[in-house]
A and B are shown apart, each in its own frame.
Chain A
């Protein structure tokens, strides 16, 4: 990040925009300046602000890993003013990028362990770098279990990658939707029900969860029932932010800031927060 003025974005160009699901698109951004590209080194779990100049900026989890290509990727659901403006943009448009920000998933520390990834809806975006990292260094990790959920089949993200995920050694993918449609033949039900059915073993395992706050809460309760300790459960939290550097005050949970103390936390850290994230 440019340390002289952390509120000044880098300029970037949209090099690709692709539909991922209903009202969810994947944006691929390349930074215009070569120095900025050099400085922008990031790790799975970190996030960045994207600017739609004239409308504003908002923080998004980085959905890519640097080793798979120079483009920064963001999976963005159209839910607010900035995301609506971004969705209206086409390849070639100029955007602003501030980041990378926040901490990251402890992917080095969990080498050798079985990893259970639980993604709900657009919450899958910051988990894709975890999945890609494990798939690209498959021998460094144990069994990979992906539980992937959405409200509806049309809202499942990264569907074009499921074959790659399933084909990887020691990797399984389980899908579920809250409500199916005529072509859906898979699981119907909440991710917590799927989790009880799959019932992964807590032995030598960690879980990494992202989704709506209410989902994170109940996933943690279910994991607890399955015997996982609070230290084994990792999650990443979303919050409204205006700066991303611990100044604007927006994202505090008690004395912690999601932007600089997180967004990645263990369940054990979250349980010690004065304020609830839900």
Chain B
């Protein structure tokens, strides 16, 4: 295995910025977020779990998907394109694994989403292994691991004040060509794993317990604030609407915007005319959990949760997705 020093890593990242847009964890107020950086000085090298995943760099929170020009009764459409390839540094294994879910839904399920496809193609991922599992983390219960390498192009592991390097893909090999490497003097350190395991109920269990009063009790304290969907690395619901950017006698410029949406919003399913088949919080919170653990596996393959724990930390009323899985499992044990 190869190794590099922090100093050589920074020099390499600075060099990458000549060709790529570099996205890295950086302090923004009290948060650590993946953002486009202008200088390597901005990079937060010592961080635990970022407050948001890097999802927004594949599937932006708000994105103009069409630019519409109206002029003298004529209409023309242009689609935006990502001009510069991007490199994301410091991606945690769970967030990289979350891209499997988005890939299944937005790429493999036809027709593919053109905007996501372009960004996925034009992005290289430099992963950073987690040395341990933090409060709320349960990646190991969902098939992941703090040091999982499978979903990134290059994997870094902190060791002895520097980094061990594994190139995982051809893309990663090309990217690391300019990085000063030496032979590693040590083995890859193993992360500290939490002993707790969260159970994953079977499809039959989900079907059987759909109408359980448990969902009403759990949703009772839900504020419908939607922060759980906002911080989730796999939530992908979106809204589309038009915004007039400029309007005058000659015509107008309109952006068709796609923005993250949340199935927890009261009016999410309401149709024009007023009918709403999912009017209660109980139904909406249940839908979020069922989407992750029951619907997505059936429709697209992967479970739509990677155990990153962000929704557990962010929920202002302590609704805990891992605890919920444990509760569902408990009924099953009681019944059998």
Contact = CB atoms under 8 A, between A and B. Distances in A.
A247 B66 contact: no
A155 interface: no
A53 interface: yes
A205 interface: no
A240 B305 CA distance: 25
A254 B240 CA distance: 22
A212 B106 CA distance: 31
A55 interface: yes
B238 A53 contact: no
Contact of B291 (A6, A94, A239, A252): A252
Contacts, number: 119
A274 B286 CA distance: 11
Contacts of B109: 246-247
Nearest to A79: B272
Interface in A34-93: 51, 53-58, 77, 79-80, 83, 92-93
A240 B111 contact: no
Given A54-B242, A247-B105, A255-B294, A3 B269 contact: no
A248 B277 contact: no
B74 A8 contact: no
A243 interface: yes
A240 to B, nearest CB: 5
Contact of B269 (A83, A239, A243): A239
Contacts of B111: 1, 3, 6, 245
Contacts of B270: 240
A9 interface: yes
B90 to A, nearest CB: 28
Nearest to B105: A247
Contact of A8 (B77, B239, B299): B77
B244 A54 contact: yes
A139 interface: no
A96 B70 CA distance: 12
A77 B274 CA distance: 13
Interface in A237-264: 238-240, 242-243, 245-255, 257
Contacts of A251: 269
Contacts of B113: 6-7, 247
A226 B181 CA distance: 79
Interface residues of A, number: 48
Interface in A168-217: 212-213
B228 to A, nearest CB: 15
B240 A243 contact: yes
Contact of B261 (A246, A249, A255): A249
A277 B66 contact: no
B11 interface: no
A255 B299 contact: yes
Given A53-B68, A249-B236, A276-B277, A5 B241 contact: no
A167 interface: no
B317 interface: no
B114 A274 contact: no
Contact of B272 (A83, A92, A252, A254): A83
Contacts of A8: 66, 77, 79, 114
Given A4-B114, A213-B277, 18 more contacts: A6-B113, A6-B114, A8-B66, A9-B77, A11-B75, A53-B70, A55-B242, A57-B240, A79-B272, A94-B74, A96-B77, A239-B269, A239-B271, A240-B271, A242-B239, A247-B113, A249-B263, A274-B207
Which 3 A-B residue pairs are closest in the complex by CB-CB distance? A80-B272, A249-B237, A5-B114
18 contacts: A6-B114, A7-B114, A54-B68, A54-B244, A58-B272, A79-B273, A94-B75, A240-B268, A240-B269, A240-B271, A245-B111, A246-B109, A249-B236, A249-B237, A249-B238, A252-B291, A252-B295, A254-B295
